[in-house]
Structures are given as structure tokens and as C-alpha cells.
Amino acid sequence: MQAQDSAVPDTTPAVEFWRDPALPFFEGRRAVGSVSCYTPHTHPTFSIGIVDAGTSVFSLPGRETPIRPGDVVLIAANEVHSCNPAQRESWSYRMFHIDQEWLCALLDEAGMSPRMALVSQVLRSPQACALMNKISDAMRDGEDALQKETVLVDALCELFAAFCTPSSDEMHDAHTGSAQADSDLQPAHDYLQHHCCDKITLDTLAQLAGTGRYQLIRQFRRRYGMTPHALQIDMRINLARDFLRRGASLADIAYRTGFADQSHFHRAFKARVAATPAQYQLGG
């Protein structure tokens, strides 16, 4: 199992970081061909590592675990640890640092016990690796904060639900929602409709729906067939169609409908309409 689905080109930086001011609770790091060694240390954040290439040794007090490509390493906040390349050979990896308070609140919302979930361990699972790849892709290539946060919340809750053994009652609460709960989605849907061109957070929508962020994502999928972010983009594209029929400029439409730039607007429009904005505007 390879954690990275394509070869890393020679031009890739040795180290890169992913940060978004709108998501201050997350920081990502990618290291390629690293030979650096760490002295035992701690992080105030809960940390998740993914080995992309090479082998390493994950060390906790009194315990050492060899890790290899595809392994996912969970590291509890403030726990002394180190992770160094085996025999000082180069290795490549990604690390996610997640604010402990934010993550505990998320797990509480999802009906999972932070005390049970947030422990150090090594996961040797294609499912865990695939979930972390989703986070990497979103944080590196995502076009707005709502998209990134949606992927992060969804993937983390799925990871902890699958591998950190909450009780059956907690799992039931996290993974089911009654029709009564779903009926409360209308205020969130209406807000999304009226503010689709604005920057919207999952917190805002969850509060309007009276539910947690993870449940919100699952309930939106069940009721509307897509996540809040996907529905927001769909609403923006429908609005853009109207602007295009009126003859507005593509740059102006991209700005007015809340896209980061014209290229993002172009990709989103073509993915949903099977035509470029210019083709749609020209009628052919």
C-alpha cells in the first residue's frame, strides 16, 4: 500500500507547510527525502503522521514501533515521542497537527469519547491511509475554507469511529439521525441559499440546524444528496448561469459568486454543466 498515489517529482520542495488563516486549528507538513532526526519531544496538538516512502521508527517511552509506507501514526497531545528514519536513510512523510480543544469538541459532537479516541497508536490500514490522503488533497488543493473543513471533519470522524473503538451506543448516536433531526436542516439550507456567495463555516450551519458538524454533513448527504459545501457550489453555479444569460463578464461573475478566482469558477462550472462558462454564455 503506497500512501502517495503518484511519484514525487524532483522539483517538489524538501519541506512544505499547509496553513489556512480561516482554519487556525489545523497545520499540515510534508517532508520529502528527509534525513533529519528528532530528539524526543512533545506537541500541544494531537498529531497524525503518514509514511509516504522509506522506513522509520516511532518511539514512545518504553516502546519502539517500525513504520513503513502506508502506516498512519496517531500521537496524543503532550506525549513524549520521536519518529526518525531507520538506519538514517531518507524517508518521506506528512504530518497533521490539530488543535486539541477543537478536536475534543468535534468528537463530543459526534458522540465519541475524546479520552478513548485520542491515544497514540499506529494504524496499518488502507482505509486510514485513504482518509488521510483525502485531508492532504483538500488542504493542499481545496478552493475554500468550507470545502477544507468539510473534508477534515468528515475524514477525522470516520477515522476515529473506525479505529478508536467507541461504544456501540456512541457509534449509534454518531452514525444515525432520525427524520425529526433531519427536519431541522431547513434553517441551515435556507441560510446557505441566501448566503451561498459568502464565506460560511460548518459551525454556523450546525448551530442553525441544532446539531454537530459531523452529523450536519451526514444529514445533508442523506437529505440533499451532497455535503453543505457541494450544495453551496451548486447554488453558486445556478446563480452564475443567470448572470451569464444576462451577459456579465466572466471575471465579474467569478467575483460576485464567491469563487477565489476565474479558474476555480471555470472548473466548478464545467464539472456541473459539461460546458465552459464562455460556451454557455454564447449558447454553444
Question: At a CB cut-off of 8 Å and minimum separation 6, what does 154 contact?
Answer: 214, 217, 227
Does 158 reside within a domain? Answer: yes
pLDDT score of 165: 55
pLDDT score of 168: 37
Q: Are 192 and 125 in a shared domain?
A: no
Question: At a CB cut-off of 8 Å and minimum separation 6, what does 79 contact?
Answer: 42, 60, 120
Range of lowest pLDDT (13-22, 43-52, 196-205, 238-247): 13-22
Pairing of strands 15-18, 26-34: antiparallel
pLDDT interval class at 163 (50, 70, 90): confident
Cα 64 to chain center, whole Å?
Answer: 29
CA–CA–CA angle 231, 160, 232 (5° rounding): 10
Encode 96-139 in three state secondary structure.
EEECHHHHHHHHHHCCCCHHHHCCCEEECCHHHHHHHHHHHHHH
Containing structural domain, residue 269: 185-282
Q: Is the pLDDT of residue 96 over 70?
A: yes
Q: Are 141 and 189 in a shared domain?
A: no
Which among 92, 71, 91, 102 is positioned nearest to 29, based on CA atoms?
Answer: 92
CA–CA–CA angle 138, 207, 197 (5° rounding): 55
Q: Are 128 and 88 in a shared domain?
A: yes
Residue 30's CATH number: 2.60.120.280
The CA distance from 176 to 190, in Å, is: 23
All three cell numbers of 168, joined, read: 456501540
Which among 106, 107, 7, 117 is positioned nearest to 52, based on CA atoms?
Answer: 7
Count of structural domains within the chain: 2
Q: Is the pLDDT of residue 177 over 50?
A: no
DSSP strand E in the chain: where?
Answer: 15-18, 26-34, 46-53, 56-60, 63-67, 72-75, 82-85, 91-98, 121-123
pLDDT score of 182: 55
Q: Are 41 and 153 in a shared domain?
A: yes
pLDDT score of 169: 42
Q: Are 158 and 196 in a shared domain?
A: no
Q: Is the pLDDT of residue 269 over 70?
A: yes
pLDDT interval class at 142 (50, 70, 90): confident
Does 244 reside within a domain? Answer: yes
Q: Are 157 and 240 in a shared domain?
A: no
Kindly report, residue by residue over 32-78, the tens digit of the pLDDT. Answer: 988 877 778 888 889 999 999 999 999 988 899 999 999 999 999 98
Does 254 reside within a domain? Answer: yes
Kindly report, residue by residue over 108-139, the tens digit of the pLDDT. Answer: 888 888 888 889 999 999 999 999 999 999 99
Q: Which residues pair with 91 in a beta bridge?
A: 34
Q: Which of 162, 196, 227 is the last residue of a domain?
A: 162
Q: Are 29 and 128 in a shared domain?
A: yes
Three-state DSSP state, 177 = coil
